[in-house]
Amino acid sequence: MAKRAPPGPLEYLRRWPLQAWIVGVTIFLYAPLISLMVFSFNDSKRNVVWKGFTLKYYGKALTDESLLTALGNSLTIAFVATIASLVLGALSAVLLWRFRFPGKTALDGALSLPIVVPEICMGVAMLVFFAKVLPWPTGLIWPLNLGSIIIAHISFCFPFVTVVVRARLASFNRELEEAAKDLGAGEWRTFKDILIPHMAPSLVAGALLAFTLSLDDFVITFFTAGPDTVTFPVKVYSMVRFSVTPEVNAASTILIVLTVLLTFIALRFQNPAKELG
């Protein structure tokens, strides 16, 4: 019967102007993406008018050697950068949470710099660094040739992990750690058996964040990538710079579907974890 009752004073969502607004914003956010996905199946080069269903652009995208290499590079970079960011992020979160030391405020501020510094500034800093200080040797075997991009990605991903893990550590009961030590556990044992299990949900969340950030990044990669180390966004950029091509629609659709799946898996993963913690 509740459904028939007039909306309560604060049930804004049940008033039609706000409902219309939400529908409008949804259309604004989703129409471009959905039309991109729908028209990836369109059998027309110019790709405006619906000419019929086809999978041929998927075939083209999936046999495009350079596109696949770029996607492989992107996934490899994201994978390695995520693992390193997790380690660094967790360590720095523990550092800031557990210890008092001179220069802590400064370090805290410096750690949030990569989050706020504009991407373009970080991109040029990495360009200069790898040109002048640490010239990355060219012609290394895969995946070592991706090293400079991976280093740059770790630098901007791990502070995000730090933020997430640190928020989680705030709810940790320090007495647990003391109890473990009283019972004879060493530093490493306490870290491994007490602290890490407590951090686990934030490590999952941080990993997903780092992975997405790395996969998503264009600007910083654009400045660190060489001709033989092209990532997916950089490749797509060079393909669509001046026109809209159906193969890119197909490749983008694959990536969107992948992202959506990952997001749903992550949400499934996080909800039970939240209840446990």
Which residue, 41 or 223, is less far from other proteins as judged by CB?
Answer: 223
Segment contacting other proteins (CB under 8 A): 54-62, 127-135, 139-147, 197-205?
127-135
**What burial class does residue 215 get, using C-beta atoms within 10 Å of its C-beta: 0-12 exposed, 13-18 middle, 19+ buried?**
buried
Out of 121, 144, 176, 196, point to the residue binding other proteins (CB under 8 A): 121
Which residue, 8 or 139, is less far from other proteins as judged by CB?
Answer: 8
- 250 lies in the binding site for other proteins (CB under 8 A): no
Which residue, 129 or 145, is less far from other proteins as judged by CB?
Answer: 129
- 2 lies in the binding site for other proteins (CB under 8 A): no
Q: What's the min distance (Å) between Cβ of 107 and other proteins?
A: 7
- 80 lies in the binding site for other proteins (CB under 8 A): no
C-alpha count within 13 angstroms, C-beta hemisphere, residue 241: 5
Out of 27, 55, 113, 167, point to the residue binding other proteins (CB under 8 A): 113
- 32 lies in the binding site for other proteins (CB under 8 A): yes
- The position carrying tokens 């550092």 is 95
- 179 lies in the binding site for other proteins (CB under 8 A): no
- 42 lies in the binding site for other proteins (CB under 8 A): no
Helix (H, G, I), strand (E, B) or coil at 121: helix
CA atoms of 181 and 200, how far apart (whole Å): 21
Cα→Cα distances 109→96, 97, 261, Å: 11, 14, 35
Going by the DSSP 8-state scheme, the letter that residue 172 receives in this structure is: -
CA atoms of 241 and 37, how far apart (whole Å): 19
Using an 8 Å Cβ cutoff, are 140 and 229 in contact? no
CA atoms of 180 and 182, how far apart (whole Å): 5
- 73 lies in the binding site for other proteins (CB under 8 A): no
Using an 8 Å Cβ cutoff, are 156 and 114 in contact? yes
Segment contacting other proteins (CB under 8 A): 60-68, 138-146, 197-205, 240-248?
240-248
Which residue, 55 or 134, is less far from other proteins as judged by CB?
Answer: 134
Q: What's the min distance (Å) between Cβ of 170 and other proteins?
A: 12
Name which of residues 198 to 227 contact other proteins (CB under 8 A): 212, 215-216, 218-219, 223
Which residue, 186 or 277, is less far from other proteins as judged by CB?
Answer: 186
| First and final C-alpha spacing in the chain | 37
Out of 158, 168, 205, 225, point to the residue binding other proteins (CB under 8 A): 158
Out of 61, 67, 71, 122, point to the residue binding other proteins (CB under 8 A): 122
Structure tokens at 112: 């949030």
Q: What's the min distance (Å) between Cβ of 227 and other proteins?
A: 13
3-class SS letters over 125-143: HHHHHHHHHCCCCCCCCCC
